[in-house]
Structure 1
Amino acid sequence: MRYRTPEFLTFAVLALCAGTSAIGQQGRHFEDTGTSVPNDALIAGVDGSDEVIHEASIMIEVFDAVDLGDSKPGGKGCNCDSCLGGKGDGKAGCAAIRKAAAASHKGVFYANDFSYLANAGCCETYLGDRFKRLPVGDCWMVDVGGQYRMRYHHEQNINNVGIPNFLGLTGDDDDFLLHRTRLYLNAEYGSHFRFYGEMLDAASELGSGPPRVIEENRTELQNLFVEFKGYDLGRGTIGARVGRQEIMLGAQRMVSPLDWGNTRRTFDGARAMWKGETWDIDGFWLRPMHRDAAHAKKLDPPNLDRQLYGLYGTYKGLCRDNLEAYWLALDYEDILPSGFRYDTLGTRYWGSEGDWLYELEAAVQFGTNADNTGHGAGAVTAGLGRKFPCTIFSPTLWGYYDWASGANAVGNGYHHYEPLAHKYNGFMDIFGRRNLQDMNVQLTANLTDKVQLLIWYHYFRLANGNDVPYNVDMTAFNGQTAGSSGSKDLGHEIDFLITHNITPRTSVVYGYSHFFAGAYYATTAGVPYNGDADFAYVQWHLDF
């Protein structure tokens, strides 16, 4: 539920001021850290109780607690083993530790990697490090940590109101503040067993309307599983994970925890992992959670009418490039009139040759539609990029073509499953990946070692003029019916994103996007709005 309280507005302003203050300090402390985030990390989705951080004084203390430079051990005057050519290999060694610390928190926290602490010596430590790799008894190793994230939204003409299918270009405005807290416990027994638990609390404040489904979920059990791992079978190792778990596959075009959302997707089920000489293969059977908005303080149960299962393989036998192949099945029995069952066979190939980059992902989809007709669909993403390492700011330029099929009947085109849709088809989330052509150009640049710029332009068109545009939840935009579309020209979007990595544990993201409405909105009867739209946001996060 959203609240209009002056305290929260004051909190937001002071927090952003604290972030600005820390940014000012960054220039004095990070000349030689060398921990910039790769360009591809910029386009990832940029956590529970509100009692974790309330007052501005606490926020400033959090920033003060983060080591911003080499004034601590590992800097000038350090004569420990790490700085004198031991484990840390001097200044270069501590820079490597810094880089590893910046990369320690992964897209799913159960994959976090704190192994750098074994070689940190007396290099500087970061917020939360003292609670990682804690020995308990003779056989247990424990990690305790989490994340807090805050994001302010200004949405003009794209905010949704509480009626069905009212997503996309709506003509509605709102301003609101999102909070998310995540807390986790990882306990490993030897090298073959572990327990992992994670709690998430997501809240939305200050908005004039109800929050989206992905914006609020109070005190939720996000992950709770046991894992058996690394059992040697001769030609490879096998492991299994059973319980509630997030899942992230490949480039996240099909399955993702959706980190951009204030809430995150999670599932109940089982997953088996094989790591071989030439193939790594995951097999899984999962049920998504049923979001119980009417009882927001109760734990979400699994949705027994839905299931996701399949195989996902990574081939390791190529000398230079990378190859993935997958079969993914999605069954929704609760979609009227009779539910659907889709199977997707796909592959992804990507790599580089010198400064040239390339990526191709293609999928075919078949099964049964909700109206009991046969389903046949497909999607292709093709990209070509080039790095310019000898140019100022070392930019990287990509050109992409993204196509997902539509159909002559509404709802029967390609289904994007459970993706990180926000990452690929415009940061404004106006369109879902169904009946869509997206011609886009992306430019990334390292303005400094700690500041990255992303500019991403999209031109959207309908793939099938008899079909309609779709929202990110795969519903038809505005409930439009087959044959109602006017022009296939949906419009243009341009996204600007600046990411400032203040320390290996905290960053600030500034984003602005503008959508230029295409002829579709002026030539299609019944659409709610046919003008342009804007989206601006500021996000701060802290890992600990």
Structure 2
Amino acid sequence: MNSSRVFSFSAEHSAELRMHWIKKTPHWLSNIGFTFVVAMCLISQAHATNPAPTNTNTPTVATPADASQAADRFDMSKVPPITAASRPGLFSLPSSGPGYYSFWDMVTSNKREKPPVAPYAPFALLTTPAYDIDFRYLDNPDHEKDIFDPVKRIHLASDWLLSFGGSFWYRYANETDSRLNAAGTDNSFHLLRTRFHADLWYKDRVRLFAEFIDARILGADLPPLATDRNHTDMLNLFTDIKLANVNNGPVYIRVGRQELLYGSQRLISTLDWVNTRRTFQGVKTFWRTPEWDVDAFWVRPMITEKGNFDNWDTQQNFFGLWATHKPKPGHLIDLYFLSLENDRNLPAANVLAGNILQGNSHVHTLGSRLAGNFDNFLYELEGMYQFGQRSGLDVSAFAVATGVGYRFAMPMNPQGWIRYDFASGDSNSKDGRSNTFNQLFPFGHYYLGFLDRVGRQNIHDINAQFTMNPMPWVTFISQYHRFYLANERDYLYNAAGAATLRDITGQSGSHVGDEVDFRFNLHINRHQDVLIGYTKMWSGNFLKKQVPGISPDLFYVQYNIRF
């Protein structure tokens, strides 16, 4: 089930938004166009100062000047400066030592002494943006050869670098009572997603990156969600310009459409589970060193429109400052301050019912996170506090995620986590305060059950995870969740943050239900994975009284290929 819905609009609001976009389009295009012109001017100027040598059949003799020019050529092995994906919560330590690391390795009897160097994680879901996939190992002449090598890191002249890539997935899903609807309607459907990107660098100074996406749904029994389809659009379209080097680390500015991913992804994620992924448009500056990653950004979320070129949401502004410190290998500290301004006017009925998280708010989030491992002992602790205004009410809300895990020194790489997740709720929407936590733009599907019926808002989640690798190319993941409402009078919110069910009297109790999730990932080869999953929820008192007789579950099979 998809876990990132775009809030529904009335026809009138949609018309107003389109009219606003039409009025603002020339200004926006001029800004982006100006950025591209500046980038191309920089490229042209640099290229003019380094003309390509003239081809000649006359033998030449190397001179000191020739040697000097060769020494002045930029070392393209440093491009691009990759932002390594941060460890999520519930992370696991990969298999190591001798073994078959793909199905193809096993078929060809290619037993390896250690895991191969590869750009993709051996799993069907990959939240890492395409522009942060690391292919720099190709500059090592001894790298393992691959059929797609010729379209990667193509050296044009001495200072230019061009790469192409993409992916395709197919998923079949069958849902029972998946949307907790009283009618008990089931849903089965097919998802198709195609992505393709081109990446051009001049030295480490200027980057142009464009990524196309086409996402479709077929055969659904229920109306598609906004995140199910996006026909022929741009997922990423940006320019990077290097501003300086500070303490041996580059500083860049990025302008345009771009995905964002930070920390545990509890608050900001690309959301790879859904067919369309999540993207933004705006400006980001970032600084990278071995010890620090520091980002500052202003963006607006994109509104997915199936048949039109996606537009940014002019009623939302998202600001952030995020720093990650890596004091030593295996450990990290996240520090962040985020602000979301959502000026969408809510209907009076929403305000009256206390369903006020989706508009009329200026909310700030202050948080930090510690995560890492001491040998086989795994740990994570994250705390988030929110303050500001929401529909005229003072906001005071918080969330905590904590857990410990351990990898056992046994065959099949078994690992387990015991965790507790909490996000505050509101007991009275008329007391002048709003205490419900806002999960912002999360990877909800990863943390709070794969059915996506529960979001990080007004919830207690006591959970555990167990993983193992029966063979290095097979990953088994199981989770158990026991959900309770943090406040019995507040809503149950789904993974998209939308209010779904509520008992204003609190008489339905707080026990939402229990959920178990199972996943098998089969790593076929460097480019291909097959993911099989099943999840089941047993209703607690709250669900039994709110939607009697439901028994939700989800089965899915997914095939993914990347190049």
Q: TM-score, normalised by structure 2?
A: 0.75
Q: Is the counterpart of residue 504 in structure 1 residue 526 in structure 2?
A: yes
Task: Return closer, same or farther for 1:457/1:39 CA change in 2, 3 Å cut-off.
Answer: farther
Indicate the residue corresponding to 1:427 in structure 2: 450
Indicate the residue corresponding to 1:541 in structure 2: 560
Counterpart among 115, 130, 134 of residue 150 in structure 2:
130
Indicate the residue corresponding to 1:115 in structure 2: 136
What's the CA shift string for 1:426-475, capped at 9, x where partnerless?
A: 00001111000000000000110100101100000011122121122322
Equivalent residues of 1:171, 1:529 under 8 A apart: no
Counterpart among 217, 229, 238 of residue 242 in structure 2:
229
Task: Return closer, same or farther for 1:41/1:418 CA change in 2, 3 Å cut-off.
Answer: closer
Partner SS, residue 252 of structure 2? strand
Q: Using the alignment, how far apart are the partners of 1:419 and 1:485 within structure 2? A: 30
Indicate the residue corresponding to 1:321 in structure 2: 331
Task: Return closer, same or farther for 1:71/1:461 CA change in 2, 3 Å cut-off.
Answer: closer
Counterpart among 377, 381, 385 of residue 356 in structure 1:
377
Equivalent residues of 2:401, 2:422 under 8 A apart: yes
Q: Using the alignment, how far apart are the partners of 1:387 and 1:464 within structure 2? A: 35
Indicate the residue corresponding to 1:263 in structure 2: 276
Indicate the residue corresponding to 1:10 in structure 2: none
> Once the 2 structures are TM-superposed, how far is the Cα of residue 159 of structure 1 from its aligned partner?
3.9
1:422 partner amino acid: H
Equivalent residues of 1:404, 1:437 under 8 A apart: yes
What's the CA shift string for 1:43-83, capped at 9, x where partnerless?
A: 89xxxxxxxxxxxxxxxxxxxxx9945999x989xxxxxxx
Task: Return closer, same or farther for 1:304/1:407 CA change in 2, 3 Å cut-off.
Answer: same
Q: Using the alignment, how far apart are the partners of 1:422 and 1:277 within structure 2? A: 31
Task: Return closer, same or farther for 1:230/1:358 CA change in 2, 3 Å cut-off.
Answer: farther
Equivalent residues of 2:213, 2:235 under 8 A apart: yes
Task: Return closer, same or farther for 1:264/1:460 CA change in 2, 3 Å cut-off.
Answer: same
Indicate the residue corresponding to 2:438 in structure 1: 415
Counterpart among 118, 121, 139 of residue 159 in structure 2:
139
Equivalent residues of 1:468, 1:484 under 8 A apart: no
Q: Using the alignment, how far apart are the partners of 2:183 and 2:398 within structure 1? A: 28
> Once the 2 structures are TM-superposed, how far is the Cα of residue 531 of structure 1 from its aligned partner?
2.6
Indicate the residue corresponding to 1:373 in structure 2: 393
Equivalent residues of 1:287, 1:302 under 8 A apart: yes
> Once the 2 structures are TM-superposed, how far is the Cα of residue 354 of structure 1 from its aligned partner?
2.9
Indicate the residue corresponding to 2:204 in structure 1: 191
Equivalent residues of 1:268, 1:287 under 8 A apart: yes
Q: Using the alignment, how far apart are the partners of 1:157 and 1:538 within structure 2? A: 18
> Once the 2 structures are TM-superposed, how far is the Cα of residue 206 of structure 1 from its aligned partner?
1.0
Counterpart among 508, 522, 535 of residue 513 in structure 1:
535
Indicate the residue corresponding to 1:17 in structure 2: none
> Once the 2 structures are TM-superposed, how far is the Cα of residue 278 of structure 1 from its aligned partner?
4.6
Task: Return closer, same or farther for 1:335/1:427 CA change in 2, 3 Å cut-off.
Answer: farther
Partner SS, residue 309 of structure 2? coil
Q: Using the alignment, how far apart are the partners of 2:87 and 2:315 within structure 1? A: 39
Counterpart among 310, 323, 327 of residue 320 in structure 2:
310
1:182-221 correspondence runs (5 A): 182-221=195-234
1:395-544 correspondence runs (5 A): 395-409=414-428, 412-478=435-501, 480=502, 482-484=504-506, 486-523=508-545, 527-544=546-563
Task: Return closer, same or farther for 1:138/1:404 CA change in 2, 3 Å cut-off.
Answer: same
Partner SS, residue 464 of structure 1? coil
Indicate the residue corresponding to 1:393 in structure 2: 412
Counterpart among 353, 361, 365 of residue 340 in structure 1:
361
Task: Return closer, same or farther for 1:308/1:277 CA change in 2, 3 Å cut-off.
Answer: same
Equivalent residues of 1:310, 1:326 under 8 A apart: yes
Equivalent residues of 1:360, 1:381 under 8 A apart: yes
> Once the 2 structures are TM-superposed, how far is the Cα of residue 315 of structure 1 from its aligned partner?
1.5
Partner SS, residue 117 of structure 1? helix
Task: Return closer, same or farther for 1:236/1:456 CA change in 2, 3 Å cut-off.
Answer: same
Equivalent residues of 1:180, 1:201 under 8 A apart: yes
Q: Using the alignment, how far apart are the partners of 2:363 and 2:87 within structure 1? A: 34
Q: Using the alignment, how far apart are the partners of 2:198 and 2:209 within structure 1? A: 6
> Once the 2 structures are TM-superposed, how far is the Cα of residue 230 of structure 1 from its aligned partner?
7.2
Task: Return closer, same or farther for 1:320/1:537 CA change in 2, 3 Å cut-off.
Answer: closer
Task: Return closer, same or farther for 1:188/1:529 CA change in 2, 3 Å cut-off.
Answer: farther
Range with bigger deviation, 434-443 or 137-146: 137-146
Equivalent residues of 2:297, 2:320 under 8 A apart: yes
1:354 partner amino acid: D
Equivalent residues of 2:474, 2:521 under 8 A apart: yes
> Once the 2 structures are TM-superposed, how far is the Cα of residue 261 of structure 1 from its aligned partner?
0.4
> Once the 2 structures are TM-superposed, how far is the Cα of residue 298 of structure 1 from its aligned partner?
1.4
> Once the 2 structures are TM-superposed, how far is the Cα of residue 487 of structure 1 from its aligned partner?
1.0
> Once the 2 structures are TM-superposed, how far is the Cα of residue 232 of structure 1 from its aligned partner?
1.1
Equivalent residues of 1:307, 1:330 under 8 A apart: yes
Indicate the residue corresponding to 1:5 in structure 2: none
Equivalent residues of 2:337, 2:366 under 8 A apart: yes
Counterpart among 159, 175, 200 of residue 155 in structure 1:
175
Q: Using the alignment, how far apart are the partners of 1:42 and 1:277 within structure 2? A: 24
Q: TM-score, normalised by structure 1?
A: 0.77
Equivalent residues of 1:467, 1:485 under 8 A apart: no
Q: Using the alignment, how far apart are the partners of 1:448 and 1:418 within structure 2? A: 35
Task: Return closer, same or farther for 1:531/1:106 CA change in 2, 3 Å cut-off.
Answer: closer
1:367 partner amino acid: G
> Once the 2 structures are TM-superposed, how far is the Cα of residue 171 of structure 1 from its aligned partner?
2.5
Task: Return closer, same or farther for 1:404/1:75 CA change in 2, 3 Å cut-off.
Answer: closer
Task: Return closer, same or farther for 1:141/1:227 CA change in 2, 3 Å cut-off.
Answer: same
Equivalent residues of 1:468, 1:485 under 8 A apart: no
Q: Is the counterpart of residue 284 in structure 1 residue 297 in structure 2?
A: yes
> Once the 2 structures are TM-superposed, how far is the Cα of residue 257 of structure 1 from its aligned partner?
1.1
Indicate the residue corresponding to 2:263 in structure 1: 250
What's the CA shift string for 1:209-266, capped at 9, x where partnerless?
A: 2211111111111100000237313464311111000010011000011100001111
The percent identity for this pair of structures is 32
Query: Which is greater in Rg?
Result: 2
Equivalent residues of 1:142, 1:188 under 8 A apart: yes
Equivalent residues of 1:284, 1:309 under 8 A apart: yes
> What is the Cα-based RMSD across aligned positions, in Å?
2.8
2:558 partner amino acid: Q
Alignment length (residue pairs): 451
